[in-house]
Structure 1
Amino acid sequence: MNKKLLCLVPMALMLSACVTGTGGSSSGSDTSTAQGMTQQIGMTALKIAIDAKCVNEMNKMQAWQVASKVMSTSQQQTVQNNTCGCVSDQAPQSVTVMDLANAALDQSARATLAHQVIEKTITSCMAKALK
Structure 2
Amino acid sequence: MKKLAYVLAPLALLLSACASTGTTQPTAATTTQQLGGAALKIAINAKCVTELNNIPAWQTATKVMTSTQKQNIQTEICGCVSEKAPQNVTAVDLATAAIDPAARATIVSNVVSKTIHACVQEAVQ
TM-score over 0.5 for the pair: yes
The aligned counterpart of 1:7 is 8
Task: Name the % identity.
Answer: 47
Post-superposition CA distance 1:8-46 (Å, at most 9, x none): 145315642774487xxxxxx86x743322221111010
Distance (Å, rounded) in 2 between the aligned partners of 1:14 and 1:106: 18
RMSD of the alignment, in Å?
2.5
- Calculate the TM-score normalised by the size of structure 2: 0.83
Structure 1: segments with no counterpart, 5+ residues: 23-28
1:106 aligns with 2:100: yes
| 2:6 match: secondary structure | helix
Contact map agreement 2:36 2:95 (CA 8 A) in 1: yes
The aligned counterpart of 2:84 is 90
Match of 2:120, as an amino acid?
Answer: M
Contact map agreement 1:17 1:37 (CA 8 A) in 2: no
Contact map agreement 1:10 1:104 (CA 8 A) in 2: no
The runs of 4+ residues in structure 1 deviating greater than 6 Å are none
Q: How many positions carry a matched residue from both structures?
A: 124
- Calculate the TM-score normalised by the size of structure 1: 0.80
| 1:56 match: secondary structure | helix
Structure 2: segments with no counterpart, 5+ residues: none
Answer with 1 or 2: which has the greater Rg.
1
